[in-house]
Amino acid sequence: MPPTKIIDQFNIPKSTLYDWIKPTLDKHLKKEINILFSDYKQLIKEHNELLLEYNILKDCHCFPDDNTQVKLAAIEANYSKYPMKTMCRILNVAPGTFNHYHKRQKYPTKTEIRFDELKKLIIEIYGKSEKRFGYIKIKAKFNQQGILVSDKTVNKLMKELKIKAILKEKKPKLRLKPNINPNLKNYVKKSFRRDNPNEVWVGDITNIYIKGNTYYLCVIIDLFSRKIIAYRIHYLAKSNLVINTLKDAFEYRGEPKGLIFHSDRGSQYTSNEFLELQKSLGIAPSFSNTGNPYDNAVVKSFFSHLKKEEINRNDYQDLKELKESINKYMLFYNDYRPHETNGNLSPNEYEKLYYDKKT
């Protein structure tokens, strides 16, 4: 019976009737809401379970009717991603069967994982050096990157990778130069350590043979950082070769003052033209003692590295190929190659550190 008829028939106030039936209505309404919410939660649960099953089947790339070994390998691959028992149920694999399979797997130790990472870095550095670096230089590059590792470990990993520095050494015959002028002074006296750039430069010339032709490479090195600050290649070893190389270096380094230039007593360096050029530039000439190549050991050492690490590893066809090769090596040497004298920094890195500290 509608409430309005009850009110009319029994003459009951409207408010009294609704106060009487409200608790009953609230009770039924609440019950219906609870039922609906319970159904909603059940639907959410079933949806999540179906979504999980879908993701497991998608990532495992197999189905319940596949080969058991395939399913075990798939569960193993996703072991840390999904619940093991859920994967076993979906793929129809007994959990005990998987546990036996799981225990038989061999997992790498932390040391093995670290060594694998180091090997990747070794291959990267070895490649950048164009196979020039042995374990000492590679270890130095590791230290620059903040990676602490011993010489022994790097050497061991390189042996496992079956890689080593590819160098080709040809020992030149030592040719002693006559004492052209006993009055030429040696101001360096094997003191090859310098505290500032542009205090002492050293220079020399070396021969390079290509297809029956001889070419001459002249270089100038700053003793402070061992940086190659100028170099030239020519088919004649005349005074002009060392003159033009010195002019290049002097201009490149901003025309420094109070400079000493050291060389051997070769005719190019003792020529009147070269001595006059040094005098006009305010450079004090210094010369190795007669017949003593060790007085200019820094340049001799550089030539040795250049030939082992670059020249002797290539078969040049002409002067153009030689120049391209030397240009590339000079960039590598100044920018990337660690130098023991510089605390295993490259010459450019060492000079940058010096100027950064000054500013």
- Give residue 28's pLDDT: 63
Residues 98 and 11 in one domain: yes
- Give residue 80's pLDDT: 83
Residues 204 and 296 in one domain: yes
- Give residue 255's pLDDT: 95
**What distance in Å separates the CA atoms of residue 185 and residue 288, rounded to the nearest whole number?**
8
Backbone angles phi, psi at 329, to 5 degrees: -65, -40
What is the per-residue pLDDT across 330-351, written as a single tens digit (0 to 9) for each?
Answer: 999 999 999 999 999 999 999 9
**What distance in Å separates the CA atoms of residue 319 and residue 101, rounded to the nearest whole number?**
65
pLDDT at 133 over 60: yes
The verdict on residue 315 lying in a domain is yes
The verdict on residue 322 lying in a domain is yes
pLDDT at 23 over 80: no
Task: Pick the more confident residue, 217 or 60.
Answer: 217
Residues 274 and 336 in one domain: yes
pLDDT at 148 over 60: yes
Q: How many domains does the chain have?
A: 3
Which of 104, 121, 148 is the C-terminal boundary of a domain? 104
Residues 268 and 125 in one domain: no
Backbone angles phi, psi at 214, to 5 degrees: -110, 130
Share of the chain above pLDDT 90, in %: 47
pLDDT at 176 over 50: no
The verdict on residue 191 lying in a domain is no
**What distance in Å separates the CA atoms of residue 8 and residue 16, rounded to the nearest whole number?**
13
The verdict on residue 84 lying in a domain is yes
What is the per-residue pLDDT across 183-234, written as a single tens digit (0 to 9) for each?
Answer: 788 989 888 999 999 999 999 999 999 988 999 999 999 999 999 999 999 9
**What distance in Å separates the CA atoms of residue 70 and residue 356, rounded to the nearest whole number?**
60
**What distance in Å separates the CA atoms of residue 91 and residue 79, rounded to the nearest whole number?**
13
- Give residue 22's pLDDT: 66
Residues 56 and 98 in one domain: yes
Q: What is the pTM of this model?
A: 0.63
The verdict on residue 181 lying in a domain is no
Task: Give the gyration radius of the chain's Cα atoms.
Answer: 41
Per the structure block, which two tokens stand in for 17?
Answer: 């009737």
Question: Any idea what DSSP says for residue 165?
Answer: -
Residues 91 and 136 in one domain: no
Residues 60 and 141 in one domain: no
Residues 115 and 237 in one domain: no
pLDDT at 240 over 90: yes
The verdict on residue 190 lying in a domain is no
Residues 126 and 74 in one domain: no
Residue 155 is which amino acid? N
pLDDT at 172 over 60: no
**What distance in Å separates the CA atoms of residue 162 and residue 153, rounded to the nearest whole number?**
14
Which residues form the domain of 285? 200-358
Residues 289 and 318 in one domain: yes
Residues 6+ apart with CB under 8 A from 134: 158, 164, 165
Residues 205 and 347 in one domain: yes
Task: Pick the more confident residue, 20 or 252.
Answer: 252
Residues 26 and 97 in one domain: yes
